[in-house]
Amino acid sequence: MSEHVLIVGGGIAGLTLAAALDPSRFRVTLVEERPERAGAGTVLALWRGAMADLDRLGVGERIRAASITSDHGTLRDSHGGVLARHRVPRLCFAPRPELVAAFEAVLPTTVTRLTCEVTDPRALATEVGADLVVGADGVRSVCRQACLRPSGVLAGRGFVARSSHLNPRPVVTEWIALRGHLPGRRPQGPTEWWGPGGVFGVTPGPRGAAWFCAVRTDQPDRRLQAPSLEGALALATNRFGDWDPLLQQVLAEVGGEADVQRILLAPPLRRSAADGLVLIGDAAHGMAPNLGRGANEAIRDATVLAAMLHRHGAKGGPLAFPRRRHATTQVLRLASSVALRTATTSRLAGVRDHVLRMLPQQAPPTG
């Protein structure tokens, strides 16, 4: 008799898992609160590991055809001076809507889709008769919160938050992220501008270019919600006002399509699996966007979890999964915060820029 997996969240992690599970081995119920949001967004940088997973799922070629590939990037200081030119191994800039559409196209027809907000994942699992709940519900994860009591004591065996971070709720940062498309112009490779209190990036994108920035709000009250687009744009225009004039041009062209969100992080977790429940993607390790790894790790998590479930079943799989993924993703979560601080420091900016300029410059290939 097939086992039943309940996946909470139909974003990148949840869709990848639903597409990767063998329908002859697992019944799958996929619950998504806002299906229309899953395909929203601009461009995701996908690295080699995630692309190999997409190949295994049979969507790699479709994504490559819709993406722009680049193998070099540039770091600039806030005034546009080059800090470093570096090679990146065949980075694919994939439109997020295309990625979601590709997963939808290979989703087995046997997957049961529910559209609702899950408030009690274990109760829903009992209701639908699931053997395993997979929390793929993003950085605000109700699955993570439902499994950790406020005291940090186990709600399910083996699920512990680090003692200094007993709160399972997301860590609310003072950072706001904005991103959007810039139709018409296609840069050769990704470029980031680093400076005090902000980071700005422009990447190639199928509609020309995509841009993103992170701005520190300097507000003592860190609210869970991001400000309005107008408020965020005013903040960014002010922050980047005396930076490279190109950035002001980009911000001046932003239409109503730009996306604004507060940067939330998952709290550090000692483990990401408990009795009958496992967390994947941002629910387990929501990180600052600076390394461009969040969606990559969500895809990797889902692919590895699917392999562990095929090998060990719904009981053994969640125990085997953290051994393969937990340490790596927790390190990346931490490293992305360090990257954000390094990119936006004012105190150590001089030293940082000096070190970066001393590095061997890897010029983009010509011709």
Per CB under 6 A, does 37 bind ligand FAD? yes
Pick the binder of ligand FAD from 5, 6, 7, 8 (CB under 6 A).
Answer: 8
Site for ligand FAD in 256-285 (CB under 6 A): 261, 281-282
Specify whether the CB–CB gap between 166 and 40 falls below 8 A: no
Specify whether the CB–CB gap between 92 and 51 falls below 8 A: yes
The contact pattern for ligand FAD, residues 97-136, with x = CB under 6 A and - = no contact, is --------------------xx-----------------x
Per CB under 6 A, does 292 bind ligand FAD? yes
Tokens of 126: 């009992």
Tokens of 350: 């001089």
**Which segments of the chain does DSSP mark as H helices, in order?**
12-20, 35-38, 48-57, 60-66, 96-106, 121-128, 142-147, 229-239, 245-252, 282-285, 294-344, 349-358
The C-alpha atoms of residue 326 and residue 330 are separated, in whole angstroms, by 6
Per CB under 6 A, does 33 bind ligand FAD? yes
**Which segments of 286-348 does DSSP mark as H helices, in order?**
294-344
Whose Cβ is closer to ligand FAD: residue 9's or residue 317's?
9
Site for ligand FAD in 204-233 (CB under 6 A): 212
Per CB under 6 A, does 9 bind ligand FAD? yes
Interacting span for ligand FAD (CB under 6 A) from 8-16, 80-88, 246-254, 264-272: 8-16
Per CB under 6 A, does 31 bind ligand FAD? yes
Site for ligand FAD in 45-74 (CB under 6 A): 45
Whose Cβ is closer to ligand FAD: residue 2's or residue 88's?
88
Tokens of 161: 């938050």
Cα distance between the two ends of the chain = 58
DSSP string, 39-89: T--SEEEE-HHHHHHHHHHT-HHHHHHHSEEEEEEEEEETTS-EEEEEEEE
Whose Cβ is closer to ligand FAD: residue 98's or residue 137's?
137
Minimum Å distance from CB 183 to ligand FAD?
A: 19
Pick the binder of ligand FAD from 5, 7, 10, 321 (CB under 6 A).
Answer: 10
120: left (phi over 0), alpha (psi -120 to 50) or beta: beta
Q: What are phi and psi of 161, to 5 degrees?
A: -85, 150
Per CB under 6 A, does 138 bind ligand FAD? yes
Per CB under 6 A, does 11 bind ligand FAD? yes
Residues at the interface with ligand FAD (CB under 6 A): 8-14, 31-34, 37-38, 44-45, 117-118, 136-138, 142, 177, 179, 212, 261, 281-282, 289, 292-296, 298
